[in-house]
């Protein structure tokens, strides 16, 4: 079974470089390298509609079209990111989108608007955050891999002025995403070393095993506009799709070796996937899967997200 690396070296994309003063011209030109793609097949050219963000642990990069610029990290170890506007639970296109950034070592969660202005900071003392999510009714959530003293992790859900701590099922919490009903699907590892899919039902403070089954080595989670739950499974090098907890399809990730994070475009016709082993950020037809249509060469790629282009 493929092993998922959940450590401080994990990385994620962040928002527009406008949020940073350390942005510069590209340190390297985006290239395309995909070792499992036969040489006879033309390699796809790197391009993106909207603003794509990815990270490789030392650089945070924003790409628009074929142009990329590299930004320095904002301190700490930024990991999981969520953007509003692409999922069933976060349709914030009217305000240009928002970005939520988890800082693994900085013990805080930062929220930015699409122009890069910091609009909120959520303290997360004593815990190492992994991933973030926007909810359907204004709530936000983040998963804490563990405490900073290597104790059990948890999930934090913020609804207005109310903050709830959610525990149960896992000792270490990894990825998560809200559906449009407010249920928070998540993955992690149990004390016995298993990887079920968890769910925090709307209004609950307990994480419990969901009825989703068949995911052997789960990684990133996203909820599509049609309400399906999409989960990266490293065991099949695919994304498993569930509707009402029932399997309804798979997105084959041709050429992938260790897929980690995923992000859907606004129309849900493309899914971007990072791969730590191949060092790529690749765009696949969704939900058809197969060969990627665009590939960026990003050594140690981990996190990815996209703010949609304006209509």
Count Cβ atoms within 10 A of the Cβ of residue 7 and give its class: 0-12 exposed, 13-18 middle, 19 or more buried.
exposed
What does the DSSP assignment read for 26-40? -SS------TTS-TT
The residue ranking higher by pLDDT, 131 or 310, is: 131
Whether the predicted pLDDT of 20 surpasses 50? no
What does the DSSP assignment read for 138-191? S-EEEEEEEETTS-EEEEEEEETTEEEEEB-S-SEEEEEEE-TTS-EEEEEE-T
Mean pLDDT estimate for the chain = 78
CB contact at 8 A, 99 and 305 = yes
Kindly report which listed range (61-70, 71-80, 259-268, 293-302) carries the lowest average pLDDT score. 71-80
pLDDT band at 80 (very low <50, low <70, confident <90, very high): low
- 227-262 pLDDT, tens digit per residue, is 999 999 999 999 999 999 999 999 999 999 999 989
Give the dihedral sign, CA 20/25/28/32.
positive
Whether the predicted pLDDT of 295 surpasses 50? yes
Parallel/antiparallel/unpaired status of strands 48-55 and 304-307: antiparallel
Parallel/antiparallel/unpaired status of strands 280-285 and 270-275: antiparallel
Those residues whose C-beta lies under 8 Å from the C-beta of residue 35, and which sit 6 or more positions away, are 255, 257, 278
Give the dihedral sign, CA 204/240/192/303.
negative
Those residues whose C-beta lies under 8 Å from the C-beta of residue 150, and which sit 6 or more positions away, are none
The residue ranking higher by pLDDT, 126 or 88, is: 126
The residue ranking higher by pLDDT, 29 or 231, is: 231
pLDDT given for residue 100 in this prediction: 79
Mean pLDDT of 123-142: 90
d(CA 163, CA 80): 19
Question: Per this entry, what is the length of the chain?
Answer: 311
Parallel/antiparallel/unpaired status of strands 98-103 and 108-113: antiparallel
Nearest to 214 by CA among 188, 184, 236: 236
Those residues whose C-beta lies under 8 Å from the C-beta of residue 94, and which sit 6 or more positions away, are none
pLDDT given for residue 7 in this prediction: 39
Q: Domains (ranges, CATH) in the chain?
A: 17-307 (2.120.10.30)
């Amino acid at each position: 079974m493929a092993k998922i690396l959940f450590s401080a070296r994990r990385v994620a994309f962040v928002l527009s470089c406008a949020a940073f003063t350390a942005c510069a011209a590209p340190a390297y030109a985006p290239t395309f390298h995909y070792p499992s793609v036969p040489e006879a097949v033309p390699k796809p050219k790197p391009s993106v509609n909207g603003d794509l963000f990815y990270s490789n642990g030392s650089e945070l990069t924003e790409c628009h079209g074929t142009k990329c610029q590299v930004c320095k990290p904002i301190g700490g170890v930024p990991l999981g990111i969520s953007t509003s506007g692409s999922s069933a639970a976060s349709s914030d296109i009217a305000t240009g989108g928002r970005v939520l950034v988890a800082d693994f070592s900085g013990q805080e969660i930062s929220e930015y608007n699409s122009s890069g202005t910091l609009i909120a900071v959520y303290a997360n003392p004593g815990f190492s955050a992994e991933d973030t999510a926007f909810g359907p009714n204004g709530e936000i959530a983040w998963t804490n891999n563990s405490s900073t003293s290597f104790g059990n992790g948890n999930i934090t859900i913020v609804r207005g002025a109310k903050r709830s701590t959610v525990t149960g099922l896992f000792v270490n919490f990894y990825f998560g995403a809200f559906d449009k009903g407010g249920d928070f699907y998540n993955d992690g590892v149990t004390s016995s070393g298993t990887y079920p899919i968890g769910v925090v039902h709307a209004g609950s403070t307990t994480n419990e095993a969901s009825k989703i089954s068949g995911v052997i080595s789960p990684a990133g989670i996203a909820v599509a506009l049609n309400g399906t739950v999409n989960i990266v499974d490293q065991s099949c090098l695919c994304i498993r799709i569930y509707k009402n907890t029932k399997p309804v399809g798979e997105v084959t990730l041709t050429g992938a070796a260790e897929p980690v994070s995923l992000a859907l475009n606004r129309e849900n016709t493309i899914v971007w996937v990072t791969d730590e082993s191949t060092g790529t950020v690749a765009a696949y037809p969704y939900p058809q899967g197969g060969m990627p249509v665009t590939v960026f060469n990003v050594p140690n790629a981990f996190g990815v997200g996209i703010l949609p282009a304006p209509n």
